[in-house]
Structure 1
Amino acid sequence: MITLHHVPQSRSMRVLWLLGELDLPFQVVSHGLDKGLRDPEYLTVSPAGRVPALEIDGERMFESLAIVQYLCERYAEAPLYQGPGDIDRMAWLVWVQFAETISQHTSSLAQQHIALREDHMRSPTVMRIEAKRIENCYAAIEARLSTPVENRDYLLTGGFSAADVCTGQAVYMARHFVSTDAFPEVSAWYERITERPAFQASLPQGEVMNVFERDFYPPWDS
């Protein structure tokens, strides 16, 4: 049995989505944003006290993109996974990893808007810079999706893949701070991929403590 340690609306969401796409049997252990992630027992699974962590065949993994690549190498077929020698291998690696570029800027905005609770702690300058960086990331996705090839509905020419899962989850998080409305191809792609049942199943379910209390956090000025 595969066990995923998960916090809703965190990077573990991309692994949860992928597991759904792979249609594998798995169980989820949900954690809150509290001291539970620092429990000695959990630190044996994830030494830094972070999610996701994966338990599989008696082994333990952490780091979301490493988990994504491992699961794809072991269980996925094209186009979900593009292995060495496959025509879309280079693009698969780029767009899977690009998710972390977006996530870093989103994490900075989440810290400014959510974690720093006192106004005097926040920096409008940091917020503007990070929001612009996310817009630049959207522009990169827009350029990719605008490439004049047949059936460019997804990031890879061959179709929906783990690259869409990882980058799409990162955009889901980023959209809490920066709208995609100025990027029509990104908006259309995002709508396509988030209609998938596996994405819907990865959203917070029931009464859970979410990272985001709002759907959108508007720009903040001191």
Structure 2
Amino acid sequence: MTFRLHHVQYGRSFRVLWLIEEIGLEKLLGPLDIVEYRIGSAEMREGALPRVSPAVRIPALEIGDLAMSESGAIVAYLCETYAPELGRAVGDPERPAWLQWVHYAETMASLIENLNLQMVFLRPPATPSPVVVKLTVARLKGTLAGMEARMGDHDWLLPGGFSGADVMMGFNLFAVPYYVKLDPFPKLRAYKARMEARPAYKACVAREGPQRFYDRDFYPVPDAGHA
């Protein structure tokens, strides 16, 4: 049976890779075939990805005849189908919060994507817009502040324990520190450390190897004088 993930290293598809590892899905479905792409490359349109992803973006997951894209949809499906303890069923008191955090993760990820486009993909002679970058960083900080205020005293996003909503945040908290210092957010720093300590997360990082996307540890807002 086909069990294939269309993947970019440490991209949104990391969420799916991590969840597969958390569930132990390869023990049930067999070895995962990972098709890796270089983000923005022509190979994304020239290979099989357009067949399984309407937007020709990652992640895309194939299980037998099923093909899905959109990380939030994939995470929800995998939780509901193979690991209900990582989801929250209809009628569960934590269901609304679970849904909220799954989608909140994409609100945050869209801001990270905007910063990636401005700061990483633009190459000379193109230059990022200091105004756009400053506003986007401010909005990203706002999403972090909102999380910090709602973390409470529990280890994970939901009092009931680790879930697919936390998996959705894993990609975000990997990428956020390239644009926003986490010093003002002690609960999020501790939350990130707990994610990184999970055996399944560690296994995925070992599988991924050193990241190849960012060429520096931190990208400050550009000087307006160089716009």
TM-score (norm 2): 0.88
1:212 CA drift (Å): 1.8
* Partner residue in 1 for 2:44: 37
Find the residue that maps to 1:28 and give its secondary structure.
strand
Cα deviation for residue 131 of structure 1 reads: 0.7
Residue 156 of structure 1 corresponds to: 158
Unaligned residue ranges in structure 1 (runs of 5+): none
Amino acid at match of 1:51: I
Tell me the equivalent position of 2:146.
140
Q: Kindly indicate whether the alpha-carbon contact (under 8 Å) linking 2:52 and 2:68 is maintained by their aligned counterparts in 1.
A: yes
* 5+ long unaligned stretches in structure 2: 27-31
Report the equivalent of 2:116.
110
What per-residue deviation string (whole Å, max 9, x for no partner) do you get for residues 152-190 of structure 1?
111000111111111232121122111211111111111
The residue aligned with 2:221 is 219
What is the alpha-carbon distance in structure 2 between the residues aligned to residue 100 and residue 65 of structure 1? Answer: 8
Give, as a single letter, the amino acid of the residue that structure 1 aligns with 2:195. I
- Paired with 1:205 and 1:196, the residues of 2 have a C-alpha distance of 14
Q: Root-mean-square deviation (CA), in Å?
A: 1.9
Q: Return closer, same or farther for 1:41/1:163 CA change in 2, 3 Å cut-off.
A: closer
Task: Check 1:203–1:213 CA distance in 2 against 1; reply closer, same or farther (3 A cut).
Answer: farther
1:1-222 equivalences in 2 (<5 Å): 1=1, 2-25=3-26, 26-33=32-39, 34-39=41-46, 41-78=48-85, 80-118=86-124, 120-146=126-152, 152-203=154-205, 205=207, 210-221=212-223, 222=226
Aligned partner letter, 2:148: E
Tell which has more relative contact order, 1 or 2 (C-alpha 8 A, sep 6+).
1
Q: Which whole-Å CA distance do the structure 2 matches of 1:9 and 1:179 have between them?
A: 19
- The 3 A distance-change label for structure 1 pair 209 and 166 is closer
Residues 113-155 of structure 1: CA deviation (Å, up to 9, x unaligned): 1111126531111111111111111111101113xxxx51110
Give the alignment's TM-score, normalised by structure 1.
Answer: 0.90
CA contact (8 A) 1:177 1:217 kept: yes
C-alpha contact 1:106 1:173 (8 A) present in aligned 2: yes
How many corresponding residue pairs? 217
> Hey, what's the Cα distance between the residues in 2 that align with 1:206 and 1:83?
32
Identical amino acids, percent of aligned pairs? 41
